[in-house]
Structure 1
Amino acid sequence: MAANYSEEEVKKAHEILFNEGLKMRYQVAGKEYVDNALKNGTGSFAGAMQEFVTESCWGSIWTRPGLELKTRSFLNIAMLCCQNRSSELATHIKGALNNGASEDEIREVILQAACYCGMPAGIEGFRVATKAVDEWKSGQGKKA
């Protein structure tokens, strides 16, 4: 337990971060996607990861001042493209569109990543992005 904080204070802090993270996750990734992720990540084992992601990534990082949501999306696209994390990349491409990014901007981010991380990563990034953008345009990725 953190020094000088009661168990109840720590619990309340986690609750606040989770709730703020959930709001941000809904805003960027869309309610349907997030609800499915939470539903599929149930139980004490898998549920812990969904809780951690919502609280730590979305509640702590995405809600920080200093970078616009669109910029955070661009960073995630570049990093996920370079790591060949296709399903997460698709989610963040749709999130970038929800955050106001244009297709041209997303294309430039992937080209930049390809230059520095390798053409195979860039080629896969374009495959994923093409499908994700098409799905988003058809309404499967837009915010609820």
Structure 2
Amino acid sequence: MSDAADQQAREAAEKTLFDLGMKQRRTVLGDKYVDNQLATRKSEFSRPAQEYITRSAWEGLWSRPGLELKYRSLVVITILAIGGHKAELAAHTRGALRNGLTEDNIREAMLHVTGYGGFPKGLEAFRVCEEAIEAYRAEVAAEKGEGSSTA
């Protein structure tokens, strides 16, 4: 194969992985959230990072067999909480609820973060998760209200 053919094959493979990753990302986080993220992080500087994350994390990790999405969410929110990654923790808390974790599941995970990661990290994680849960509840309620209104 020529260098040009190799490059074309690579670009095609990356596009396929990106498209599959984007599908998974939307499944976990929801179209509205993903659309907002893409709209606010569309600079040429950050575009390669978004593409890489979509290919490697959303397709490469989230699409693997072996764990249901809710368990992947449980692992991710715990890691993010321990790492103090507030924005990502909020987004993935929403995703965890979308994937079938309950508020009780999330609360118990954050108690483990508190016990094993320390009180300051745990308390901050509780604050972030609680805000994300409240926002998710409001979003779900608004969607239900839109769907039940009559014209």
Give the TM-score normalised by the residue count of structure 1. Answer: 0.90
Superposed CA RMSD? 1.9
Per-residue deviation at 1:44? 2.1
Partner of 2:147: none
Q: Deviation digits for residues 70-122 of structure 1, max 9, x if unmatched?
A: 11101111111111111110000000000000001011111111111111111
Identity of aligned residues (%): 40
Give the TM-score normalised by the residue count of structure 2. Answer: 0.86
Structure 1 gap segments, 5+ residues each: none
Counterpart CA distance in 2 for 1:43 and 1:102 is 36
Does the 8 A contact of 1:37 with 1:50 survive in 2? no
Partner of 1:97: 97
Partner of 1:30: 30
Q: Deviation digits for residues 35-74 of structure 1, max 9, x if unmatched?
A: 1111122232111111111111101110111111111101
Total equivalences in the alignment: 139
The structure, 1 or 2, with the larger RCO (C-alpha pairs under 8 Å, 6+ apart) is 1
Matched residue of 1:62: which SS? Answer: coil
Aligned positions of 1:9-48 closer than 5 A: 9-48=9-48
Per-residue deviation at 1:7? 2.0
Aligned AA for 1:79?
I
Counterpart CA distance in 2 for 1:138 and 1:17 is 33
Aligned AA for 2:95?
G
Per-residue deviation at 1:30? 1.0
Structure 2 gap segments, 5+ residues each: 144-151
